[in-house]
Chains A and B, each alone.
Chain A
Amino acid sequence: MSKGAASNLLFQSSDWNFETLARTYDAIEEIALDDLGLDVYPNQLEIISSEQMLDAYSSVGMPLMYQHWSFGKRFVFEDHLYRRGRRGLAYELVINSNPCITYLMEENTMAMQALVTAHAAFGHNHFFKNNYLFRQWTDASAILSYMDFAKKYISKCEERHGTPAVEAILDSAHALMEQGVFRYRRPPRLSTEKEQERMRERLEYEEQTFSDLWRTLPPAGENNDPTQLERELSERKKSLNLPEENLLYFLEKTSLILEPWQREILRIVRVIAQYFYPQRQTKVMNEGCATFVHYTIMNTLFDQDKISEGAMLEILQSHTNVVFQPGFDDPRFPGINPYALGFAMMQDIERICVEPTAEDRDWFPEIAGTGLWRETLLDAWANHRDESFILQFLSPALIRKFRLFLLTDEADDNFCEVASIHNERGYETIRGALARSYDIGSSQPDIQVMDVDLLGDRHLRLQHNVKNGVLLEENSRDATLRHVRRLWGYEVSLAGVDMETGETLYECSTEELSD
């Protein structure tokens, strides 16, 4: 009996080898695809050492990345923490690409490798492939070749124009990374072959059409009639497509002082920012999905007697660490743990579908008691981001379980006020407030290009749409504005306008800033 059970186990010891990895992978895959109905990109699992994990950390998790000192800074930082034992390393790292690349740390035990495989290679992978944000805004099959192109292009630029010049552009572009994404418009899909073709054509065209004679032409006649000028002006503004939320895009297309290679670098930074944009909007869902998937799969494997009790205990211990949520007054409190919230919500959805209470039937009439938790979850994973997911699915039961409360905090008041707690009156407010706090649109400053007088002094006017009176931190604001000026080449000013009253709260211009 015991012998039969033992032979059923996928692995016995905590050491792993490629055979047990493959065997476990197959068992996990079976459950993931047949039982949970996941739909994933082909998997590529790569075994790396801890040093390589640190490397990957510092290049924002991309396997290929151009060189920049800021990645070195991150590396020194992570390395310092790691060596002092202040921080452990992640067990895995997964890249939204097709095939989906998952890094497994060599130090992991076999039980951890199984957990990580289920978590990353199936949980995250499914989410990347199916969530609407990723489908619409990123191109998993092109990202690796694009990064390859970007890395080569930037190192070529460094050879040609010198590292300091390239670094200067990258510094400025990185400062505007947050403002380098399209939030509402869909960016064009990339294809590297086309990309390179385009770049070559652009350079060739410029070389062919270069004529020094143009420089010597006298300026156009001044005697145009004013209506003509006005019409040209408005046409130009229209062609600039203002207001524009994507500052990097605007600068790349419109700046008068940038050289072609500098524009290309802005483009690269912008593309990377756009690539990561969906991940930032789906932290809770993405981690929740992966955690839910690994939890379900590991339990199923255990039920099938494929994992020993010892291994299961190790897995559960690691799982509980991951979904640990300390209270707000705990010294360890880092904010709401996306793993904890996501996982709890998804478990809660399963509960509502299978064994709802009367309250759940009131709040979630569509799904309560249907028993279709797999379908409900698959649908949620595909069609929501954090904000809408919380707004839709955060149940009163969960609010009570987390004992969530809402605190309003006004800058000029010495007291915070508890606005709502986990009671009948508070559920709606808390849910709404929590959902909004995951809306990047509301937590990130909204800065747009409003106007630029290309025919006059070329002064670039930006506008910060101030919400709830939250201004910008001044030092970093001024430093960032200097970066904008570096890319734009002429003076830049930023005005903060209150969204509700329309009143101008502050104004600053690079003319007043000293370097």
Chain B
Amino acid sequence: MPNFIDRRLNPKDKSLGNRQRFLKRAREELKRTIKERVKSGKIADVDAEQNVSMPARGVNEPAFQPDANSGERRHVLPGNREFAAGDRIPKRGSGGGAGSAGAGTGQSEDEFQFVLSREEVLDLFFEDLELPDMVKLNLKESVTFKRRRAGFSASGSPTNINVGRTMRNSYGRRIALRRPSRREIEALADEIAGLETEPRGRIKHRQRLEELRQKLDSLERRRRRIPYVDPVDIRFNRFEPQPLPNASAVMFCLMDVSASMGEREKDLAKRFFVLLHLFLKRRYERIDIVFIRHTDEAGEVDENTFFYSKQSGGTVVSTALEEMLRVIRERYPAHEWNIYAAQASDGENISGDSERCASLLHDELMGLCQYYAYVEIIDERETEIFGTTDNGTSLWRAYRTVDGEWPNFQMTRIAKPADIYPVFRKLFGKQPEMQLRK
């Protein structure tokens, strides 16, 4: 008779620790992979599950291994059908037979694919990025919780005992179980005491006394058995955490979709917003995003239209700013909302309007906004000309004046997809020197 042991109820996740160690180890490598992909690949893809292959660096386990492509080997193989000694067989690709089969199984472990969930991908992507200046309320998360009373519960900490409710339960139970009251017992005791002081002798008297004593005894036993307050009576005040908006933020995305914005420019701008959009959606659950697109007139649109529908016309940038102002006045009063804005444009504007834009920003918007980012999309050849100078389109020049005066105004030029990510980091890096609005 062998020794049978049923291990099925043992804890299952014996490998959990090892698995976590592995993921931690692979993290740096995975992060690098994701960053590369964001830089070169399509940004919309970021917002999805990613099949990443097993990271090679950091988690490979080297050992001295024979090189498959050197020296002389001999393989014994089964299943010969037509070969005779002396036949020469051309090698297929990586060499035939057991050698390649062995190498194949060896590699597969290093090359297998992982699935990272969307959350994990974005976590890797957004690590150590932060929206500037949510410092207004000095909180990382824009959702806080307040505990609110929410009924009663049968468990809780002693400090939360609800005495009224507990006593009510206790009273009901005592009545239901007919727990003798103190008064009842005292009355009985008095009667016994009274009888005891009377002279003894009569049988009836003695019997009565005996009877009363027994009754008292049983009452007292009953009283002991049924406690005054039983654990089942106790009720606690229950509290429920309720989310409280303490940092409502609204993000305005402004984009020029006029004819002067070519496909490339639009594409870059889109990518920039997709990144912002992703970031905001991810880090700040309680954030509103307003999309405003403009040609020679501006309008608030939904996310999908903003990115994907076509419209053509001239370019009057100030219309977008006016629209934004209107939306702020209507729905987002500055004392309740942190207002963030990001504008993407190719810098072209109808003549004379750029000054108006600058003055709109100066006089109205910058006072309302926490932060305003302007991204100008330029030609790759232009990077060399405009890279560092203040010269440029009329809009750029006009905005320079705003830039000088408002520390919460940022402007940058981008020329190719790979530029976006660094710009993104720069724009949304921590800016401790920025002024706080009270």
Residues on A lying within 8 angstroms of B by beta carbon are 18, 21-22, 25-26, 29, 42-49, 51-52, 54-55, 58-59, 67-77, 80-81, 99, 103, 106, 121, 163, 167, 171, 174-179, 325-330, 333-336, 402-411, 414-423, 425-426, 430, 433-434, 436-437, 443-445, 447, 464, 466-477, 479-480, 483
> Contact between A44 and B3 (Cβ–Cβ < 8 Å)?
yes
Q: Which of B5-13, B181-189, B271-279 contacts A (4 or more CB under 8 A)?
A: B5-13
Q: Is B70 an interface residue (CB 8 A)?
A: yes
A402 with B74: in contact, given A473-B67, A480-B62 (CB under 8 Å)? no
In the docked arrangement, what's the CA distance between A282 and B328, Å? 78
> Contact between B88 and A421 (Cβ–Cβ < 8 Å)?
no
Instruction: Choose one: A45, A416, A444; the contact of B89 (CB below 8 Å).
Output: A416
In the docked arrangement, what's the CA distance between A328 and B75, Å? 11
> Contact between A328 and B78 (Cβ–Cβ < 8 Å)?
yes
> Contact between B8 and A328 (Cβ–Cβ < 8 Å)?
no
- Give the dominant DSSP class at A's interface: mixed
Which chain A residues border B80 with CB–CB below 8 Å?
A: 328, 403-405, 421-422
Residue of B nearest to A329 (CB): B79
In the docked arrangement, what's the CA distance between A472 and B101, Å? 18
> Contact between B4 and A333 (Cβ–Cβ < 8 Å)?
no
A409 with B3: in contact, given A69-B18, A75-B19, A178-B63 (CB under 8 Å)? no
> Contact between B89 and A415 (Cβ–Cβ < 8 Å)?
yes
> Contact between B71 and A328 (Cβ–Cβ < 8 Å)?
no
In the docked arrangement, what's the CA distance between A240 and B432, Å? 61
Cβ of B154 to closest chain A Cβ, rounded Å: 35
Q: Is B202 an interface residue (CB 8 A)?
A: no
Which chain B residues border A46 with CB–CB below 8 Å?
A: 4-7
Which chain B residues border A419 with CB–CB below 8 Å?
A: 74, 85
> Contact between B76 and A421 (Cβ–Cβ < 8 Å)?
no
In the docked arrangement, what's the CA distance between A336 and B79, Å? 10
A409 with B75: in contact, given A470-B70, A473-B65 (CB under 8 Å)? yes
A469 with B70: in contact, given A330-B79, A403-B81 (CB under 8 Å)? yes
In the docked arrangement, what's the CA distance between A476 and B61, Å? 8
Q: Is B22 an interface residue (CB 8 A)?
A: yes
Cβ of B56 to closest chain A Cβ, rounded Å: 10
Contact with A along B3-36 (1 / 0, CB 8 A): 1111110101111011111111100000000000
Q: Is B308 an interface residue (CB 8 A)?
A: no
In the docked arrangement, what's the CA distance between A90 and B34, Å? 36
Q: Which of B92-100, B286-294, B337-345 contacts A (4 or more CB under 8 A)?
A: B92-100
In the docked arrangement, what's the CA distance between A225 and B61, Å? 48
Q: Is B72 an interface residue (CB 8 A)?
A: yes
> Contact between B76 and A67 (Cβ–Cβ < 8 Å)?
no
> Contact between A430 and B2 (Cβ–Cβ < 8 Å)?
no
Residue of A nearest to B58 (CB): A69
Besides A121-B2, A409-B74, A473-B65, 18 other A-B contacts (C-beta < 8 A) = A29-B2, A44-B5, A45-B2, A45-B3, A46-B4, A52-B10, A52-B14, A54-B15, A335-B98, A336-B76, A407-B77, A409-B91, A418-B88, A466-B71, A471-B66, A471-B71, A473-B67, A479-B62
Cβ of B8 to closest chain A Cβ, rounded Å: 5
Cβ of B305 to closest chain A Cβ, rounded Å: 40
In the docked arrangement, what's the CA distance between A103 and B14, Å? 16
Residue of A nearest to B97 (CB): A407
Which chain B residues border A26 with CB–CB below 8 Å?
A: 1
> Contact between A25 and B1 (Cβ–Cβ < 8 Å)?
yes
B residues 40-90 near A (Cβ < 8 Å) are 54, 59-81, 83-90
A328 with B62: in contact, given A52-B14, A58-B15, A67-B18 (CB under 8 Å)? no
> Contact between B96 and A47 (Cβ–Cβ < 8 Å)?
no
Cβ of B5 to closest chain A Cβ, rounded Å: 5
> Contact between A415 and B91 (Cβ–Cβ < 8 Å)?
yes
> Contact between B72 and A409 (Cβ–Cβ < 8 Å)?
yes
> Contact between A18 and B71 (Cβ–Cβ < 8 Å)?
no
Q: Is B197 an interface residue (CB 8 A)?
A: no
In the docked arrangement, what's the CA distance between A326 and B98, Å? 13
Instruction: Choose one: B25, B54, B67, B91; the contact of A69 (CB below 8 Å).
Output: B25
Q: Is B228 an interface residue (CB 8 A)?
A: no
Cβ of B137 to closest chain A Cβ, rounded Å: 37
Q: Is B386 an interface residue (CB 8 A)?
A: no
Instruction: Choose one: A329, A336, A416, A470; the contact of B66 (CB below 8 Å).
Output: A470
> Contact between B8 and A106 (Cβ–Cβ < 8 Å)?
yes
In the docked arrangement, what's the CA distance between A54 and B79, Å? 34
Question: Can you name 25 A-B residue pairings with CB atoms under 8 Å?
Answer: A22-B1, A44-B3, A48-B10, A52-B8, A70-B22, A70-B61, A76-B22, A106-B8, A174-B61, A175-B63, A176-B63, A178-B63, A329-B79, A334-B105, A403-B80, A406-B74, A407-B96, A411-B70, A416-B96, A418-B84, A421-B84, A423-B85, A425-B85, A436-B74, A483-B62
